[in-house]
C-alpha cells in the first residue's frame, strides 16, 4: 500500500514490467522476495538493482507496509548478492533514492548496489 500522501503504486512502471518478464533485464539473482538485475546505465563496474517482488513504490512504502518476512528476505538477498559478486572483501555501497529530493526515477522500491572500484565520497560536493 502506498504511504499516505504519496501516489499509488503504478503497475506499469518499468521495474514492474521487468518483474513480469515483459521487458528483458540482465538478471543477476532471484528468490521469493527479491529480483536483481544490472542497471542499464551503470555508474560503477558493478551496478546492480535489487527490487522486492512485492508492489512497493519506495523505501517509505516498503519499510512501512511490507511484512517482516518480506523485509528480512529482501535484506538477506541484498547481502547474498553482494557476497556472490565477490564484493565483500573490497567493499561496496548501497543506495536507495526515495522521492523527489533524492531523484527517484522509477517508482518501485530499489536498492542500488555499487562496487568494483573505489567509490569516492558518499555525496559529491
H or E element in which residue 52 lies: strand 46-52
Looking at the Cβ atoms of 69 and 102, the one nearer to ligand 5GP is: 102
Looking at the Cβ atoms of 68 and 124, the one nearer to ligand 5GP is: 124
Q: Which of 4, 12, 20, 105 binds ligand 5GP (CB under 6 A)?
A: 105
Q: Does 97 bind ligand 5GP (CB under 6 A)?
A: yes
Q: Which of 25, 34, 36, 44 binds ligand 5GP (CB under 6 A)?
A: 25
Stretch that binds ligand 5GP, among 51-59, 77-85, 103-111, 113-121 (CB under 6 A): 103-111
Angle at 40 (CA atoms; ends 33, 86), nearest 5 degrees: 60
Q: How far apart are CA 115 and CA 94, in angstroms?
A: 9
Question: Is residue 67 within 8 Å of residue 55, measured between CB atoms?
Answer: no
Q: Is 47 a catalytic residue?
A: no
Looking at the Cβ atoms of 33 and 114, the one nearer to ligand 5GP is: 114
Q: How far apart are CA 89 and CA 99, in angstroms?
A: 32
Question: Is residue 103 within 8 Å of residue 124, measured between CB atoms?
Answer: no
Q: Taking CB under 6 A as the criterion, which residues in 26-55 touch ligand 5GP?
A: 37-41, 49
Q: How far apart are CA 66 and CA 104, in angstroms?
A: 19
Cite the active site residues: 110
Interface residues toward ligand 5GP, by CB under 6 A:
14, 25, 37-41, 49, 97, 103-106
Amino acid at each position: 500500500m502506498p504511504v499516505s500522501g504519496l501516489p499509488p503504486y503504478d503497475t506499469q512502471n518499468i521495474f514492474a514490467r521487468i518483474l513480469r518478464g515483459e521487458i528483458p533485464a540482465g538478471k543477476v539473482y532471484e528468490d521469493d522476495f527479491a529480483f536483481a538485475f544490472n542497471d542499464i546505465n551503470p555508474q560503477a563496474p558493478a551496478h546492480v538493482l535489487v527490487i522486492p517482488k512485492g508492489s512497493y513504490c519506495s523505501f517509505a512504502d516498503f519499510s512501512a507496509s511490507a511484512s517482516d518476512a518480506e523485509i528480512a528476505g529482501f535484506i538477506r538477498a541484498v547481502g547474498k548478492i553482494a557476497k556472490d559478486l565477490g564484493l565483500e572483501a573490497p567493499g561496496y555501497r548501497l543506495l536507495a533514492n526515495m522521492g523527489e529530493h533524492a531523484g527517484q526515477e522509477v517508482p518501485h522500491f530499489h536498492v542500488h548496489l555499487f562496487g568494483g572500484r573505489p567509490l569516492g565520497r558518499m555525496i559529491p560536493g
